Amino acid sequence: MNTASKINVLGDPDAVDSFAACLSAVMQAWAKNADYATIEALTGLAFSPCYNKSEECVGWMMDGESAHRIDFIGRALGFAAERHELSEPLEGADVEAYRASGTLPLCAQAYFDHIHQSMVQGKMILVETWPAWSVLTGWNEDLTQLPFSTTPGFEPVVSRIYPPIRARTSFILTNTSSVADPAQICRETIRFGADIASGKIALAQNTFGGAMYETIVSVSRQEHMCPGCQESGCLGRTFKRMHDGQQASIAFLSAAGPFIDGPENNKRLNTAIGYYSELRDLTAGYLDWASTEKKRDQPAFRRQLADDFTRAKALHDAAAEQLLSLAASI
């Protein structure tokens, strides 16, 4: 059986980072010991809510640039990643023309030929589909029907909006036996995570630090809690994404103790874990947004939401400060 055919991406599609979930599915198919929370932490983005300033929907502002550290993740887990780019992505009209003629522009044909050959060689293909990343699970000569796995329930949406034939970026993954020193990986993850948590790093349209917490405080005072969509339900996805990242950061930092030397550094580590734990407990109160949003027009609820996420911003800043101090001394 082709290993790719065993791929099964798992997780709540409104909570998980789809890139990390897809990579976790690949690791499982390769029988590597790498859980989802570890992979999300290795991306660095688990340590801070992402604020994508180019996105109008508050429910999708936290999705972006998870693949930025794929080479580092490969060193940590034992794979090599080749970034494969289509110079001119296929638009809807191009796909319709392909359906009619079976012919692609030469650059697109070369792009898919390379992917096909890589799959024949037993490599795995991560594809930047939308609204979630996907993994190719096989091949079809009709490229509009390329089989893929993505976060549960999103297959019809990806197929309709931005399926693999339209994806401009893919990563060709080769399984290797070489992994970096776990202690070094831990230290590098904490250093990058500290820069992300503090907002010192911005990636493309994405900023970090407390920006997303501030956004929730802002929308709590507006008529529509998702100004882009003119409704409030989108905010529920953001709470789930926040909570997911907080759980991943806690899991990673809790396992980091053996790689951290000295009582002061361990104190900083444990203090950071404490702040992330408080954040996780705060966002847990908003996970059942379908029920909670029924109170959205009540002034008392609006005030409580603003107060909670003002506090969340302070907790996040405190966690980032501890991580920065830890990163500077390990």
pLDDT digits (tens, 9 = 90+) for 166-198: 999 999 999 999 999 999 999 999 999 999 999
- The CA distance from 212 to 215, in Å, is 5
Average pLDDT over residues 60-71: 94
Could you tell me the pLDDT band of residue 303, with boundaries at 50, 70 and 90?
very high
End-to-end, the C-alpha distance of the chain in Å comes to 45
Burial of 163 from C-beta contacts in 10 A (0-12 / 13-18 / 19+):
buried
Quick one: pLDDT at residue 5? 87
Extents of the domains making up the chain: 3-33+79-175, 182-329
Given a cut of 80, whether residue 2 has pLDDT beyond it is: no
Find the mean pLDDT for residues 297-304.
Answer: 96
Residue 276, CA distances (Å) to 107, 142, 174, 211 in order:
46, 47, 34, 16
State whether CATH 2.60.40 applies to domain 182-329. no
Q: DSSP string of 241-303?
A: HHHHHHHHHHHHHHT-GGG--SHHHHHHHHHHHHHHHHHHHHHHTTS-HHHHGGGTT-HHHHH
Q: How many CB atoms lie within 10 A of CB 134?
A: 31
* pLDDT for 244: 98
Cβ atoms of 22 and 171 within 8 Å: the answer is no
> Mean per-residue pLDDT for 124-150?
97
Cα separation, 321 vs 226, in Å, equals 30
Whether the pLDDT of residue 329 is over 70: the answer is: yes
**Are the beta carbons of 165 and 144 closer than 8 angstroms?**
yes
Per-residue pLDDT, 92: 86
Q: What's phi and psi for 65, nearest 5 deg?
A: 65, 25
Bridge partner residues of 251 (DSSP): none
Query: Residue 88's pLDDT band (boundaries 50, 70, 90)?
Result: confident
Give the contacts of 115 (CB within 8 A, at least 6 positions apart): 84, 125, 136, 170, 172
- Bridge partners (DSSP) listed for residue 175: 79
Average pLDDT over residues 20-33: 96
Q: Which residues contact 123 (CB under 8 A, 6 or more apart)?
A: 172, 173, 174, 175
- DSSP track, 59-72: GGTT---GGGGHHH
Q: Which residues pair with 25 in a beta bridge?
A: none
DSSP state of 45: G
Give the gyration radius of the chain's Cα atoms.
21
- In the chain, what percentage of residues exceed pLDDT 90? 93
Predicted confidence (pLDDT) at residue 230 exceeds the cutoff of 80: yes
Res. 1 pLDDT band, cuts 50 70 90: very low
pLDDT band at residue 246, thresholds of 50, 70 and 90?
A: very high
Of 54, 57, 61, 62, nearest to 228 by C-alpha is: 57
| Residue 247 Cα distances to 38, 90, 236, angstroms | 10, 37, 17
Average pLDDT, rounded, for the chain: 96
| Torsion-angle region of 86 (φ positive above 0: left; ψ -120 to 50: alpha; else: beta) | beta
